[in-house]
Copies of this chain bind each other. A is one copy, B any other.
Amino acid sequence: VVRVGPGALRLLPGDLAARLPERDVVVVSDATVARLHGRALVLSLRAAGFRTRLLTFPAGERSKTRTVKARLEDRLLALAVGRDAALVALGGGVTGDLAGFLASTWHRGVPVVQAPTTLLAMVDAAIGGKTGVNLPAAKNLVGTFHQPAAVYADVSVLSTLPRSEMASGFAEIVKIAAAADRSLFEWLESHAAELRRGNARALEHAIAAAIARKAAVVTRDERETGRRAILNLGHTVAHAVEAASGWRVGHGAAVALGLVAECRLATRATGFPASSASRVARLLEALGASLAWPRSLDPSRVAEAARHDKKNRRETIRCALPVALGRMPASSDPTVAIPEKDLRDAIRALLV
């Protein structure tokens, strides 16, 4: 079940009662989101007849660790949460990844329901089943694939989201469109102003379309042996930007920079039209993304960090690059080997 729209969260308890009626439910949330939305959800789950608990952890990417996961496991054990439980991940991407990983290994796997509360999580973390935690030196190095039992993208919770976080989510939607859905890309171009104003109906359409496209790609390649890699467009540079900044640059902002850099790389590597690369940059800006290079960020450290990317094989940097707007290479492996010099050039071009 994927439900998108204002008030979607209110449908969660009823759906769950119909599908997993015998489950104990544990809502996992960071402290901030728990205060905003957690208690209401817990009360409605209890009203629907579920034995429900709320587990919280400190907000922020720094909680996405093995240590916090272990602490949550100790809490689950203390509450005698058995294999007949379901977890609800209520929050942003950190919560989705952490609670999804927690669910995937508790009693060797209990169902997780994703209830994302940020635009980025709605179109990214909540869809596709990737879970995980960070190691000190690298993101998402330890985790699982664990498909959610259901996803609730409640557009009404986005009204409290800061503008920079909305821009992060838009960057991810633009990525999906640029990689795999030209008609969505054009729809975004013509509705950028409404989206940026937070129009609920426009948001619902963009989120639902992005989720549907991502789910279609993921279903055909759950374990990322091939086609799923097209969703990594922009992410080689984005991950390097995040790592080189010590994760001070957020994921969405990094993806916006990564998209621009990798679309430029594509003009040389795959014949991606230069005019399309410009359209990607213009759409990102129209949706509120800042494409200014973060001052404190050393571009040569970014290139260095890209060499440690997960997509690499045998020390060669590989990027997933489009051949045209909404179209990635047709081969079963859509990644392209990139000379380190070209990558440095593309990163340096972001500085001007």
Report which A residues bind B (CB closer than 8 A): 22, 66, 70, 73-74, 77, 80, 82-84, 101, 104-109, 130-132, 135, 137-138, 140-145, 223-224, 308, 310, 312-314
CB pairs A–B below 8 angstroms (28 shown): A22-B313, A66-B70, A73-B135, A74-B135, A77-B135, A77-B137, A77-B141, A82-B310, A82-B312, A82-B313, A84-B313, A105-B105, A105-B132, A106-B141, A107-B141, A107-B310, A108-B130, A108-B131, A108-B132, A108-B140, A108-B143, A108-B144, A108-B145, A108-B223, A108-B224, A109-B144, A109-B223, A144-B144
9 A-B pairs besides A83-B310, A109-B145 with CB distance below 8 A are: A66-B66, A73-B135, A82-B312, A82-B313, A105-B143, A105-B144, A106-B141, A106-B142, A108-B145
For the complex of A and B, list the 4 residue pairs with the smallest distance between their C-beta atoms, beginning with the closest.
A108-B143, A105-B142, A66-B70, A108-B145
CA distance A223 to B105 in the complex (A): 12
Given that A109-B223, A145-B109 are known contacts, is A138 also in contact with B77, CB under 8 Å in the complex?
yes
CA distance A105 to B224 in the complex (A): 14
CA distance A310 to B313 in the complex (A): 41
CA distance A104 to B22 in the complex (A): 29
Interface centre among A82, A108, A109, A312 (most CB of B within 10 A): A108
* Tally of this chain's copies: 2
A73 touches B142 (CB 8 A): yes
CA distance A157 to B132 in the complex (A): 37
CA distance A83 to B311 in the complex (A): 8
Interface centre among A83, A84, A106, A142 (most CB of B within 10 A): A142
Residue of B nearest to A131 (CB): B108
Residues of B within 8 A of A109 (CB): 144-145, 223
CA distance A83 to B140 in the complex (A): 12
CA distance A66 to B308 in the complex (A): 25
CA distance A310 to B84 in the complex (A): 9
Residues of B within 8 A of A132 (CB): 105, 108
Residues of B within 8 A of A130 (CB): 108
CA distance A10 to B74 in the complex (A): 42
**Distance between A299 CB and nearest chain B CB, rounded to angstroms:** 23
CA distance A8 to B142 in the complex (A): 32
**Distance between A96 CB and nearest chain B CB, rounded to angstroms:** 14
**Distance between A109 CB and nearest chain B CB, rounded to angstroms:** 7
Residues of B within 8 A of A104 (CB): 144
**Distance between A346 CB and nearest chain B CB, rounded to angstroms:** 23
Residues of B within 8 A of A108 (CB): 130-132, 140, 143-145, 223-224
CA distance A252 to B80 in the complex (A): 27
**Distance between A221 CB and nearest chain B CB, rounded to angstroms:** 13
Residue of B nearest to A138 (CB): B77
Residues of B within 8 A of A308 (CB): 80
CA distance A83 to B229 in the complex (A): 14
Residue of B nearest to A140 (CB): B108
**Distance between A227 CB and nearest chain B CB, rounded to angstroms:** 16
CA distance A346 to B144 in the complex (A): 41
CA distance A74 to B134 in the complex (A): 11
Residues of B within 8 A of A138 (CB): 77
Residues of B within 8 A of A80 (CB): 308
